[in-house]
Amino acid sequence: MIRVVLADDEDLIRGALAALLELEDDITVVAQVSDGNAAVEAVRAHRPDIAVFDLEMPGRDGVLAAEAVRDVPDLVVVLVTRHARPGVLKRALAAGVRGFVPKTTPASRLASILRDVRGGSRYVDSDIAAAALTEGACPLTARELEVLRHALRGGPVAGIARESNLAAGTVRNYLSSAMTKLNVSTRHEAARLAWEEGWI
């Protein structure tokens, strides 16, 4: 019997996935949680065979949660995601994730994917893998990504500076550098692009 911990912040989706998995004779959902921190706790408490995490979760996203449970022996982590962005796949694989399943995957395949990764193989959606391979790596530094993250909201530079505890001039420098690298002319375009690529 494959024991599964399920983490997704959307109750409807999580419950539906649980129903789907429970239909299988050899799979049982031992815990359901709705955020990244609870996911880590649930994994430590229940010691499942497989942890299925949604990528987009409040508190700690799926990749960070996967990193946090890397030390658990014999645990396989599978990420489920809506926006299957190439950059995220790399982060996920680096975090030891064994399966990367976009929500466009047919529901009928989920169970067999779980069995496969349990058996030792990896599962990565072929479309995303291809995109990730043709993509160049993220050209931005950690600081540049940091300020871009804050720029996503749309506020003025002064606000970003406050949030990141930097001088306004420094923030502008990082933003300027990021904009040059991404070949766009406003920080908002840069932030959007970085988001779409999965860098932030």
Interface ranges with a second copy (CB under 8 A)? 9-20, 23, 80, 82, 101-108, 110, 153-156, 184-186, 188-192
Copy the structure tokens of residue 43: 């994994």
Q: Which is nearer to a second copy, 105 or 164 (CB)?
A: 105
| Partner in contact with 103, chosen from a second copy, DNA, none, beta carbon below 5 to 8 Å by kind | a second copy
CA distances from 3 to 50, 61, 106 (A): 6, 22, 21
Provide, rounded to whole angstroms, the least separation between the CB of residue 99 and a second copy: 13
Query: Which residue among 68, 75, 80, 175 contacts DNA (CB under 7 A)?
Result: 175
Q: Which is nearer to DNA, 39 or 194 (CB)?
A: 194
| Partner in contact with 180, chosen from a second copy, DNA, none, beta carbon below 5 to 8 Å by kind | DNA
| Partner in contact with 179, chosen from a second copy, DNA, none, beta carbon below 5 to 8 Å by kind | DNA
Which residues fall within 8 angstroms of residue 90, CB to CB, at 6 or more apart?
132, 137
Q: Is residue 185 a contact point for DNA (CB under 7 A)? A: yes
Q: Which window, 19-27, 33-41, 90-98, 166-174, contacts DNA (CB under 7 A)?
A: 166-174
Query: Which residue among 6, 39, 50, 179 contacts DNA (CB under 7 A)?
Result: 179
Q: Which is nearer to DNA, 121 or 141 (CB)?
A: 141
Q: Which window, 65-73, 84-92, 114-122, 152-160, contacts DNA (CB under 7 A)?
A: 152-160
Calpha distance 122→17 (Å, rounded): 20
A 10 A CB-CB count for 62 gives: 29
Helices (H), the chain: 11-22, 36-46, 62-68, 86-94, 107-118, 126-134, 142-151, 157-164, 168-182, 187-197
Assess contact for 157 and 186: CB atoms under 8 A. no
| Partner in contact with 112, chosen from DNA, a second copy, none, beta carbon below 5 to 8 Å by kind | none
Calpha distance 87→75 (Å, rounded): 24
Q: Is residue 138 a contact point for DNA (CB under 7 A)? A: no
Copy the structure tokens of residue 111: 């169970």
Which residues fall within 8 angstroms of residue 169, CB to CB, at 6 or more apart?
none
